[in-house]
Structure 1
Amino acid sequence: MTEPRRRLDQPKAPRGLRAPKFSADAIGTAAERIARFFGTARYLAIQTVLVICWIIFNAVAMGVWKFDPYPFILLNLAFSTQAAYAAPLILLAQNRQADRDRIQADADRRRDQRAIADAEYLAREIAAIRIALGDVATRDYLRSELTRLDRSRGEDRDG
C-alpha cells in the first residue's frame, strides 16, 4: 500500500508537545487588572512595607534565619523578576486601551459625519421651504440657521 502523497505547499501537522491554548481576551483582561493594581498607592505601600521588613529581618536575623544577607541579592532578583513581568503586562494593557480608543474614535467620526449630513439636509430643506413660500434664502440666513441648529444640537448633547 502506498503512502498518501504529501502536499509541499502546506506545513506539516505539529508533532510532539503542543503549547496550551489561552484566550487572548482573558489574558488581556488579567493584564489590565494587574497593571491597574501596579499603579495604585496600595501597591506601593504594600511593596514598601515588604521591602522594609525584608531588610530589617535580614539585617537583624542571625545564622540560619538570615536568608538574604547584605547586599540583598535575592531582593534584587525579586525586583528584577517583577520588572520583567510588569513591563510587558503594562504594555499589553496600554495596547488594549489604544484599541478601545481607536474604536471609539471611529464611532465618534461616523456619528459626526451623520450629524453633518443631517445638518446639510436640514439646511437644504429650509431653503426649499423658503423658496416654495416665495422667500429667498440668503447665504447669511442659512449660515445663521446652521449656527443656531449647531448650538441647539450641542445643548441637546450636553443636557
Structure 2
Amino acid sequence: MATERPDSQSPRERATGVPGAGAAPRGPRGRLDQPRTPRRKLLPEYDPEAFARFSERIARFLGTGRFIAWMTVIIVLWVLWNVFAPEALRWDEYPFIFLTLMLSLQASYAAPLILLAQNRQDDRDRVTQEQEREQNERSIADTEYLTREIASLRMGLGEVATRDWIRSELQDLVRDLAEQHVLPPGGRARGRDESDGPER
C-alpha cells in the first residue's frame, strides 16, 4: 500500500493547504479555445451611433429659427403667468429662479449634444476628404497615363504616312514616269538621252 510523501506537494499546495492548487485551472476560464463569458457592467449599454444620430438631430433643431421662436414664446408665457396669475397658481415668482435653473439645465445639455454633433460632422468630413483625396490621386494617375499614351501615339503618328504625303509621293512618281516614257514636244525622253550618249 503506497503512502503519499509529504515532500511531493508543491509549495503552493503547502501554503494554501488545498491539494491540486498548483495545477492548471480546469474550469471554463482556463480554456483558451472558448470565449469568456461577458461580465455584467454596472453602467447601461447604448448604441453610440444611434445616440450620435439623436444628438445630431437635436443640434440641428437647436440651430433653427423655430427653436428660438418656441423658446421665446415659452419664456414670455412663463413670465406673464408668474406675474399676472393668482398667487395660488404661481410656481415661480420674481426673480424667476426656477426659469433660470431650467435655462441653465437646457444649456448644460445642449452644449455636449452640439459637441457630439460637431464630432460626428468632423468624422464625416474626414472620411469625405480621404475619399476625395483618393479620387484625386486616381484622377492624377489616370491623367498621367493618358498623357503618356497620347505622347506615344504622337510619336508613332510621326512615322505613319499621311494622306498628303502619299499624294505628293504619287504625284512625284507619276511625274517621273511621265518624264521617262513620254516624249515632250520637240525633244526626246531623258532616259533615251542618257542611254544613247552624246550625238556624233
Task: State the TM-score, normalized to the length of structure 1.
Answer: 0.74
Give the structure 2 partner of residue 115 of structure 1.
Answer: 139
Does 2:158 align with 1:134?
yes
Give the structure 2 partner of residue 89 of structure 1.
Answer: 113
Q: Secondary structure at the match of 1:71?
A: coil
Asked which structure has the greater RCO (Cα within 8 Å, sep 6+), the reply is: 1
Does 2:75 align with 1:44?
no
Give the structure 2 partner of residue 30 of structure 1.
Answer: 54
What is the letter of the counterpart of residue 45 of structure 1?
Answer: A
Compute the displacement of 1:20 (Å). Answer: 1.3
**Where do 5+ consecutive residues of structure 2 fail to align?**
1-17, 31-37, 160-200
What is the letter of the counterpart of residue 124 of structure 2?
Answer: R
Rounded to whole Å, the distance in 1 between the matches of 2:44 and 2:59 is 24
Compute the displacement of 1:134 (Å). Answer: 2.3
Aligned-residue identity in percent:
49
Rounded to whole Å, the distance in 1 between the matches of 2:157 and 2:69 is 74
Give the structure 1 partner of residue 93 of structure 2.
Answer: 69
Give the structure 2 partner of residue 149 of structure 1.
Answer: none
1:42-81: per-residue Cα shift (whole Å, max 9, x none)?
1111110010000000001232211101000000000000
What is the letter of the counterpart of residue 46 of structure 2?
Answer: F
Rounded to whole Å, the distance in 1 between the matches of 2:127 and 2:81 is 51
RMSD: 2.3
Give the structure 1 partner of residue 123 of structure 2.
Answer: 99
Instruction: Select the structure that is richer in helix.
Output: 1
**Where do 5+ consecutive residues of structure 1 fail to align?**
8-12, 136-159
Rounded to whole Å, the distance in 2 between the matches of 1:14 and 1:81 is 34
Rounded to whole Å, the distance in 2 between the matches of 1:63 and 1:132 is 99
What is the letter of the counterpart of residue 72 of structure 1?
Answer: F
Rounded to whole Å, the distance in 1 between the matches of 2:143 and 2:116 is 41
Aligned residues between the structures = 129
Task: State the TM-score, normalized to the length of structure 2.
Answer: 0.59
What is the letter of the counterpart of residue 64 of structure 1?
Answer: A
Compute the displacement of 1:131 (Å). Answer: 1.4
Q: Which runs of 4+ in 1 moved over 4 A?
A: 1-7
Compute the displacement of 1:130 (Å). Answer: 1.4
What is the letter of the counterpart of residue 30 of structure 1?
Answer: F
